[in-house]
Structure 1
Amino acid sequence: MIKTFTHETLLRYVYNELPAKETQSIEQALLHDADLAARCADLLQAQRLLDALQHGPSDRAVDNILQYSRTFMRSS
């Protein structure tokens, strides 16, 4: 029997948010379904890329904001 998985279910699998039984079901399907494995690999790659993104403003942006705010402090 071929079981289909939604995009949401695959996302939950990638983020380890599924119950153990459902995780096992997906892992069995990944062994036999190349298309599902490719979709899952794409999601894992996207997860790694998103996790690697910078989570705050750059030092240059902070410096620009501080420099701008100093113009108000001088004029007071």
Structure 2
Amino acid sequence: MIKTFTHEKLIRYVYNELPDEQRQEVEQALTHDADLAARCADLLLAQRCLNSLQRGPRAATTRAILQYSRTFLTPS
């Protein structure tokens, strides 16, 4: 039986967010469907690239926020 999977379900698979039964269904389908396996591989590559990106603000942004916040300090 051929089963189709949504893009959302593949993303949830890549991020290990599927219940065991659904995860096993996807894994079985991946072994029999080369197109699905290629789509999944693309998502895994995208995940790896996104995870390697810098996740913090630039130093200049942090300085600007801190400088702005000092305008709200009241002298004691």
Query: Normalising to structure 1: TM-score of the pair?
Result: 0.77
* Cα pair distance change 1:20/1:63, threshold 3 Å: closer
Task: Give RMSD over aligned pairs.
Answer: 2.2
Superposed CA deviations along residues 26-72 of structure 1, whole A, max 9, x for unmatched, are: 0000000000000000000000000000011344x358749xx5xxx
* Aligned position for 2:28: 28
Gaps of 5+ in 2: 68-76
Gaps of 5+ in 1: 70-76
Q: Which has the higher helix share?
A: 1
Percent identity between the aligned chains?
A: 67
* Aligned position for 1:74: none
The total of aligned residue pairs comes to 69
Query: Normalising to structure 2: TM-score of the pair?
Result: 0.77
> Would you identify which runs of 4 or more consecutive aligned residues in structure 1 move more than 2 Å?
61-66
